[in-house]
């Protein structure tokens, strides 16, 4: 759950790329190009073992051609040009609505005068009907008399997985009669992703990875009366390949005849992407492999293109003069572990094509690997293509990236890089402001300079650099990526005084003694980071009434045992989690219970397996066993929370609640748990995002909700000015009242 500086702000930008935005067809085509490019990048098997395929370069070359296309045919040609880099005929552009073949017929069989058994499958979806099953029985009865079999598997229309299953199960009964040997059919190898593993993230534990999933083929045992019968299998662009065909071809028992252009074949597993203008792209998502690790390439022995009856006569002729030898196995291509994205660090201001690459890369990653992408994410692509195209300099380019991150609605989102730093301003005044009772209030001073300048804890910020504070705050809040309203307030409070390092921020403040001015130097030290500790005093102490107090913002893992020893005889403990912890919950929770209770459910996007959309793999995270010889603390516990508790802080709450029912006191947390992932973009810009969803054991979400307090307590301006901690006071009151 670790993460880096999360302050994400964007400055208002009026440039909207009007000229480009007016060209709606070009925008729609580029959006379609982005979807095709991304599907291939993360799913096409060739990119898992062909380092020579420079897929970024393929996109960069295609963008001018797509933008300049004058017709649907020109658009299709531009797409085909990019796909040609794969050298894969099965990934191709076709008409979205291909007409059905009016020549299709029903299941039928006939025997030629020289005992060639000709079987026509006809409509795949009718194969389980009574007529087809009766005809199948006649086919099975005729096999012993046949010297060869011709199986016409051509389909009159495109089919889905259901039609493919019907055909394969029907033909399997025939295959058992056509061989005397056990055949291991080809399986399918697919690229899969468990979370986004395209780039190493310094904030993740390494649990995200990419790899391969191989769905094994079937073992076909011969029927008792089975014998080796030569066969010819005829397929076309719509057909599915009978399951045993490639194994029989390798064994020298089958010829494959293709009717038409093999480049239009959907025989391998593909995914159809509608790109508009009457076109679609079929993208290969698997490659056939045998169980022994050898390739099962689809390679027709004969290609024909003619009238239906002429084609079948060619297949019968091939059966009569059958010549096919078993071929030597060829190892399937070796795989590579993962891809790494090039950040193109030398491009301070990337050219248009590389700005498009940045948008397409970011959009595709979030579309697949963010567990809770916004409902309007599809619209983000078309809305931002003109913005990225019209960005006139590095500042506007960084602004466009930041605005996409804002649309992610993710408190873990961050943008990092020189161009963004210049845009956002990375200087921070040494004070902490929170929104209290609807006012931006100073709650902490981090340097004597602030006090010397006249800043007091409890001051309300009235204006910043001459701009009315509430208006400036609202402007910044609207430009910050946040999972929840409370997180949005917190982030805006951290960012609205920022500016260039070394500059002076002019503040007008209102305190108990009226209004006054203060000037503070903005520094390079980031006072907004989660790792900046706000509280002082003893990390562990005993409060009045024998109640223990632990500042989880500063307690270290090495200090957990000593903490429990000091508080061993207290009647209760207050865990203060209004900040960010230091990896302590893993050792604290086992000291509160001996049960290995489920504390959290982690859901990570799974991409691949041939699924059209990502699925979620759910893992239950349990409390570790109590260390041998360790004693359990049995007193009551509460945890103090507010909007500053985020990510691992919220995870801490899940474990404490699961361990002993720890109650939450304060206000809602940020609502952004789950390990952070990163995307690298041209211009050496990095964007972070939440890589997994986190839930309570009962499925209640943390993201976009936060931890909900059992007792809500909000600080007041008067309390802050009086030096009171009203949330802690209420916790102590609660613990005493329940004795």
Residue 154 lies in a domain: no
Residue 287 lies in a domain: no
The arithmetic mean of pLDDT across residues 226-230, rounded, is: 94
CB contact at 8 A, 419 and 395: yes
Residue 412 has pLDDT above 70, yes or no: yes
The arithmetic mean of pLDDT across residues 22-29, rounded, is: 89
Please give the pLDDT value at position 14. 34
CB contact at 8 A, 48 and 332: no
For residue 511, the domain's CATH number is: 2.30.42.10
Distance separating alpha carbons of residues 222 and 178, to the nearest angstrom: 8
Same domain as 549, residue 451: no
Helix %, strand %, coil % for the chain, to 5? 30, 25, 45
Report the range of poorest mean pLDDT among 176-185, 265-274, 545-554.
Answer: 265-274
Q: Report the greatest alpha carbon distance in the chain.
A: 112
Is residue 229 exposed (0-12), middle (13-18) or buried (19+ Cβ within 10 Å)?
buried
Q: Across the beta sheet with 92-95, what order do the strands follow?
A: 92-95, 279-284, 270-276
Please give the pLDDT value at position 99. 59
Residue 635's domain comprises 540-737
pLDDT digits (tens, 9 = 90+) for 690-724: 999 999 999 999 999 999 999 999 999 999 999 99
Confidence band, pLDDT 50/70/90 cuts, at residue 453: very high
Same domain as 452, residue 601: no
Residue 645 lies in a domain: yes
pLDDT digits (tens, 9 = 90+) for 627-649: 999 999 999 999 999 999 999 99
Number of domains in the chain: 2
pLDDT digits (tens, 9 = 90+) for 270-287: 888 999 999 999 999 998
Please give the pLDDT value at position 201. 64
Same domain as 544, residue 493: no
Residue 416 has pLDDT above 50, yes or no: yes
Please give the pLDDT value at position 739. 61
Report the range of poorest mean pLDDT among 236-240, 276-280, 460-464, 613-617.
Answer: 613-617
Positive or negative torsion for Cα 231, 237, 241, 246: positive
Same domain as 688, residue 593: yes
Same domain as 654, residue 554: yes
Residue 404 lies in a domain: no
Residue 552 lies in a domain: yes
Same domain as 602, residue 459: no
Which one-letter DSSP state was computed for residue 121?
-
Of the candidates 487, 521, 555, which is a domain's last residue? 521
Same domain as 435, residue 467: yes
Confidence band, pLDDT 50/70/90 cuts, at residue 56: very high
Of the candidates 471, 487, 521, which is a domain's last residue? 521
Please give the pLDDT value at position 150. 97
Residue 344 has pLDDT above 90, yes or no: yes
Residue 105 has pLDDT above 60, yes or no: yes
Angle at Cα 160 formed by Cα 158 and Cα 164, nearest 5°?
A: 100
Same domain as 621, residue 503: no
For the chain, percent of residues with pLDDT exceeding 90: 70
pLDDT digits (tens, 9 = 90+) for 149-198: 999 999 888 787 788 888 999 999 999 999 999 999 999 899 888 888 86
Distance separating alpha carbons of residues 227 and 178, to the nearest angstrom: 6
- Which of 200-209, 290-299, 420-429, 509-518 is predicted most confidently? 509-518
Residue 103 has pLDDT above 70, yes or no: no
Residue 193 lies in a domain: no
Residue given tokens 């009718």 in the structure block? 126
Residue 713 lies in a domain: yes
Distance separating alpha carbons of residues 471 and 461, to the nearest angstrom: 12
- Which of 8-12, 294-298, 299-303, 338-342 is predicted most confidently? 299-303
The per-residue pLDDT of the chain, averaged, comes to 90
Same domain as 707, residue 603: yes
The arithmetic mean of pLDDT across residues 65-72, rounded, is: 96
Positive or negative torsion for Cα 689, 692, 693, 695: negative
Same domain as 547, residue 475: no
The arithmetic mean of pLDDT across residues 48-72, rounded, is: 93
Please give the pLDDT value at position 601. 96
Distance separating alpha carbons of residues 359 and 357, to the nearest angstrom: 6
Same domain as 571, residue 499: no
Residue 610 has pLDDT above 60, yes or no: no
Please give the pLDDT value at position 5. 37
pTM to 2 decimals? 0.88
Of the candidates 486, 521, 556, which is a domain's last residue? 521
Report the range of poorest mean pLDDT among 308-312, 426-430, 471-475, 515-519.
Answer: 308-312
Please give the pLDDT value at position 533. 80
Residue 241 lies in a domain: no
Please give the pLDDT value at position 621. 96
Same domain as 729, residue 590: yes
For the chain, percent of residues with pLDDT exceeding 70: 92
What is the token pair recorded at 666?
């304060």
Residue 207 has pLDDT above 80, yes or no: no
Q: What is the DSSP string of 435-464?
A: EETTEEEEEEE-SHHHHHTT--TTPEEEEE
For residue 590, the domain's CATH number is: 3.90.226.10
Residue 527 has pLDDT above 80, yes or no: no
pLDDT digits (tens, 9 = 90+) for 662-689: 999 999 999 999 989 899 999 999 999 9
């Amino acid at each position: 759950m670790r993460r880096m500086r999360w302050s994400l702000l964007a400055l208002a930008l009026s440039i909207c790329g009007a000229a480009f935005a007016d060209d709606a067809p070009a925008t729609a085509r580029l959006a379609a190009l982005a979807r095709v490019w991304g599907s291939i990048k993360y799913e096409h098997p060739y990119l898992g073992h062909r380092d020579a395929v420079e897929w970024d370069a393929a996109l960069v070359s295609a963008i001018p051609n797509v933008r300049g296309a004058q017709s649907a045919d020109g658009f299709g040609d531009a797409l085909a040009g990019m796909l040609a880099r794969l050298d894969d005929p099965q990934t191709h552009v076709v008409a979205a609505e291909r007409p059905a073949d009016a020549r299709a017929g029903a299941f039928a069989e006939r025997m030629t005068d020289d005992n060639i058994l000709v079987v026509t499958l006809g409509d795949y979806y009718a194969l389980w009907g009574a007529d087809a099953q009766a005809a199948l029985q006649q086919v099975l009865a005729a096999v012993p008399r046949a010297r060869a079999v011709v199986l016409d598997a051509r389909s009159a229309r495109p089919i889905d997985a259901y039609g493919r299953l019907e055909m394969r199960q029907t033909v399997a009964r025939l295959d058992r009669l056509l061989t005397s040997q056990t055949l291991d059919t080809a399986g399918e190898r697919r690229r899969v992703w468990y979370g986004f593993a395209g780039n190493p993230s310094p904030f993740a534990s390494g649990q995200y990875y990419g790899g391969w999933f191989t769905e094994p083929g079937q073992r076909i045992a011969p029927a008792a009366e089975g014998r080796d019968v030569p066969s010819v299998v005829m397929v076309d662009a719509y057909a599915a390949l009978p399951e045993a065909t490639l194994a029989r071809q390798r064994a020298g028992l089958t010829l494959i005849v293709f009717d038409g252009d093999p480049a239009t074949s959907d025989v391998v597993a593909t995914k159809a992407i509608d790109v508009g203008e009457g076109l679609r792209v079929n993208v290969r998502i698997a490659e056939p492999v045998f169980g022994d690790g050898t390739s099962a390439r689809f390679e027709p022995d004969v290609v024909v293109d003619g009238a239906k009856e002429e084609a079948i006569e060619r297949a019968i002729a091939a059966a009569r003069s059958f010549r096919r030898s078993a071929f030597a196995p060829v190892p399937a291509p070796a795989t590579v572990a993962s891809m790494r994205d090039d950040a193109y660090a030398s491009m301070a201001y990337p050219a248009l094509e590389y700005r498009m690459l940045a948008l397409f890369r970011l959009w595709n990653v979030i579309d697949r690997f963010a567990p809770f992408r916004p409902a309007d994410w599809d619209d983000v692509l078309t809305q931002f293509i003109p913005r990225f195209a019209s960005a006139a300099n590095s500042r506007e380019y960084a602004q466009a990236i930041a605005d996409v991150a804002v649309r992610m609605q993710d408190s873990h989102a961050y943008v990092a890089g020189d161009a963004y730093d210049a845009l956002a301003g990375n200087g921070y005044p040494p004070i902490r402001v929170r929104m209290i009772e609807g006012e931006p209030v100073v709650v902490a001073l981090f340097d004597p300079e602030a006090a010397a300048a006249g800043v007091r804890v409890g001051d309300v910020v009235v204006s910043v650099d001459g701009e009315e504070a509430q208006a400036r705050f609202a402007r910044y809040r609207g430009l910050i990526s946040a999972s929840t309203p409370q997180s949005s307030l917190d982030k805006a409070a951290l960012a609205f005084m920022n500016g260039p390092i070394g500059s002076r921020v002019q503040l007008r403040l209102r305190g108990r003694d009226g209004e006054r001015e203060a000037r503070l130097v903005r520094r390079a030290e980031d006072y907004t980071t989660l790792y900046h500790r706000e509280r002082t005093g003893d990390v562990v102490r005993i409060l009045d009434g024998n109640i223990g107090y632990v500042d989880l913002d500063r307690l270290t893992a090495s200090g957990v045992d000593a903490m429990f020893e000091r508080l061993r005889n207290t009647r209760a403990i207050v865990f203060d989690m209004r900040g960010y912890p230091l990896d302590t919950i893993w050792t604290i929770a086992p000291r509160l219970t001996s049960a290995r209770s489920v504390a959290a459910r982690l859901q990570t996007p799974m991409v691949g397996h041939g699924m059209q959309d990502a699925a979620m793999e759910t893992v239950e995270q349990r409390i570790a066993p109590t260390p041998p010889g360790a004693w359990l603390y049995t007193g009551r516990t509460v945890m103090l929370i507010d909007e500053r508790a985020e990510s691992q802080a919220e995870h801490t709450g899940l474990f404490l609640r699961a361990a002993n029912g720890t109650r939450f006191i304060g206000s809602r947390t940020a609502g952004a748990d789950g390990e952070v992932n990163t995307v690298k973009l041209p211009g050496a810009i990095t964007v972070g995002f939440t890589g997994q969803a986190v839930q309570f054991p009962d499925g209640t979400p943390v993201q976009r909700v936060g931890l909900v307090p059992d007792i809500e307590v909000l600080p007041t301006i008067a309390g802050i000015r009086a030096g009171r901690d009203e949330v802690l006071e209420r916790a102590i009151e609660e613990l005493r009242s329940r004795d």
